[in-house]
Amino acid sequence: MAGFTFPRGGIHPEEHKEITEHLAIEEMPPPAQVVLPLSMHFGAPAKPVVKKKQEVQEGDVIATVEKALGATIHSSVTGVVKTIESRPHPTMVKCDAIVIDRNPDAPPREYQSEDWRKISREKLLAAVKNAGIVGLGGAGFPTHVKLSPPPTAKIDTLILNGAECEPYLTTDHRIMLEHPEKVIEGAKVILKILGIKNAVIGVELNKADAINALNKAAKEASGSDDMNVAVQGMEVKYPQGSEKQLIYSLTQRAVPGGGLPFDVGVIVQNISTTLAVFEATVMNKPLYEKVVTFSGRALNKPANLRVKVGTVLSDVVDFLGGTRDLLKIVSGGPMMGFAMSTLDVPVTKTTSGVLFLNSKETDSDLHGPCIHCGWCMEACPMGLSPKEVGIFVEAGRGHLTERFGVFDCFECGCCAYVCPAKRPLVQFARLAKIQIKKHG
Ligand code: SF4
Ligand code: SF4
């Protein structure tokens, strides 16, 4: 089967998926305490609606965002609010968080299923909002907002992102393989909310078992309505799962610079988010647990774990037998993730994976000057000139790099990956953007 792909740049990093791709999703027992940051979504931090010493049930609303962009937060355990205070955060260094001590005797909360076909699209959208769902692929943009495009947008296609092109990560692979029927149903719920009929799930061809499982589930679910969910294999090439590349690969539509997917009639949702939509609308279950890949050769027992949001990484590492020769902890994949300095941070709604890397998996070489080989330009999927941005930033002229299209850089890391001089081209691009904004 030939795979669809994007036309420009891209790389083939070592996959490292063999560490966890064959491991079935395992449930991690709830920890004794959860730490739920008030910021784990794009937008304003949520405001607590609970107080210290208050009893809460699993799934209860504990923080809301009233008049701004944001998402509701729910308790992931039954227990008592111990404190609300600043705690380490995976991306913000520190952030206010609600800390809940779990009641070890409380049974897990039960949820009743509902037939989403009998629910209006307005009520389905409200269920997504009330469940606190955000894009689980990383950015954390509130899903109910993404599913409410402006009336002028002519949406005709829903794309589900099953590329999972980052090395090591296997969360979406396992969800597609183990719960294909939920992914298909979740897609149909989103189609109903959007008022359209066609969805396509793009999956890289290194996940043939997931493609087969989805095709089977889609076939079994066809005929129950007039919606069409297709599955399309895509070439294995990083960054196949980035929004613009994915849309081009599957529809040959090019999102204009500075534009959004709905400018070309498309809405993109991630696989884990689609599962969360299924759980919110079919099972009435808010988003407070998620599947996360814990991988890397420094971890004694790598796994795809279903964990409570708010579980602190040190508890996960204890559950997975500890680490050996640990040199670096990365939240997310090695290409677009970020290094963390402590195990004291919780799993948030947007944690897709956590990597525990040893000395052989990390590169600590110092970078040298640009040798003008041009490899970074060849690798850039956006057709940019990362070397110029780097040279300008080093010369203290980062504020003049807008001419190189630096705002089209989505920090995929392809350029830095191929650079023989090991230049930190993504950091240069980030700095350039900050300096341009500073200069107005
Ligand atoms: S990080 Fe930016 S400049 Fe580098 S390859 Fe990706 S999009 Fe291009
Ligand atoms: S790949 Fe590195 S050395 Fe080559 S042109 Fe780009 S920045 Fe310079």
CATH number at residue 272: 3.40.50.11540
Atom of ligand 1 nearest to the CA of 385: 3
What atom of ligand 1 comes closest to residue 425's alpha carbon?
A: 4
384 and 271 fall within a common domain: no
Same domain, 273 and 131: yes
- Beta bridge partners of residue 94, listed in sequence order: 88
Q: What is the DSSP string of 31-87?
A: PSEEEEES--SSSSPPEE---TT-EE-TT-EEEE--SSS---EE-SSSEEEEEEEEE
- Domain's final residue, options 222, 252, 282: 282
| Ligand 1 centroid, distance to 161 Cα (angstroms) | 20
Q: For residue 304, is it within any domain?
A: no
Helix (H, G, I), strand (E, B) or coil at 160: strand
Q: Tell me how far the alpha carbon of residue 344 lies from the centroid of ligand 1, in angstroms.
A: 31
Ligand number nearest to the C-alpha of 404: 1
Ligand 1 contact, 410 CB (< 6 A): yes
Same domain, 124 and 225: yes
Number of folded domains that form the chain: 2
Which structural domain range is residue 226 located in? 17-21+113-282
Q: Which candidate, 267, 323, 315, places its Cα nearest to that of 297?
A: 323
> Which ligand 2 atom sits nearest the alpha carbon of residue 387?
7
Does ligand 1 have an atom closer than 6 angstroms to the CB of 10? no
Residue with tokens 């191929």: 418
Model pTM?
A: 0.95
Same-domain pairing of 257 and 383: no
Residues in the chain: 440
Q: Is residue 384 a part of any domain in this protein?
A: yes
Do 48 and 326 meet the contact criterion of CB atoms below 8 Å apart? no
Distance from residue 409's CA to the centre of ligand 1 (Å): 5
Q: Is 30 in the pocket of ligand 1 (CB under 6 A)?
A: no
Residue with CA nearest ligand 1 atom 5: 380
Domain membership of residue 195 (yes or no) is: yes
Cα of 377 to ligand 2 centre, how many Å?
8
Query: Is the omega angle on the peptide bond into residue 346 within 30 degrees of 0, that is, cis?
Result: no
Please identify, among 245, 267, 282, the residue that sits at the C-terminal boundary of a domain: 282
Residue 238 lies in a domain: yes
C-alpha angle with apex 179: 173 to 181, nearest 5 degrees? 125
For residues 118 and 265, membership in a common domain is answered with yes
Query: Is residue 248 included in any domain, yes or no?
Result: yes
Residue 403 lies in a domain: yes
First to last CA, the chain: 49
Q: What confidence score (pLDDT) does residue 3 get?
A: 64
The residue among 426, 299, 422, 405 whose CA lies nearest residue 20 is: 299
Does one domain contain both 382 and 255? no
Residue 241 lies in a domain: yes
DSSP 170-230: -HHHHHHHH-HHHHHHHHHHHHHHHT--EEEEEEEGGGHHHHHHHHHHHHHHTTSSS-EEE
Q: Tell me, yes or no, whether 333 lies in a domain.
A: no
Tens digit of each residue's pLDDT, the chain (440 residues)? 456 999 899 999 999 999 999 999 999 999 999 999 999 988 889 999 999 999 999 999 999 998 888 999 999 999 999 999 999 988 888 899 999 999 999 999 999 999 999 999 999 999 999 999 999 977 799 999 999 999 899 999 999 999 999 999 999 999 999 999 999 999 999 999 999 999 999 999 999 999 999 999 999 998 878 999 999 999 999 999 999 999 999 999 999 888 899 999 999 999 999 999 999 999 999 999 999 999 999 999 999 999 999 999 999 999 999 999 999 999 999 999 989 999 999 999 999 999 999 999 988 778 889 999 999 999 999 999 999 999 999 999 999 999 999 999 999 999 999 999 999 999 999 999 999 998 87
Q: Which of 247, 282, 317 is the last residue of a domain?
A: 282
Q: Find the 151 Cα to ligand 1 centroid distance in Å.
A: 33
Atom of ligand 2 nearest to the CA of 425: 7
Ligand 2 neighbour 387 (Cβ under 6 A): yes
> Do residues 125 and 264 share a domain?
yes
Given this model, what pLDDT does residue 1 score?
46
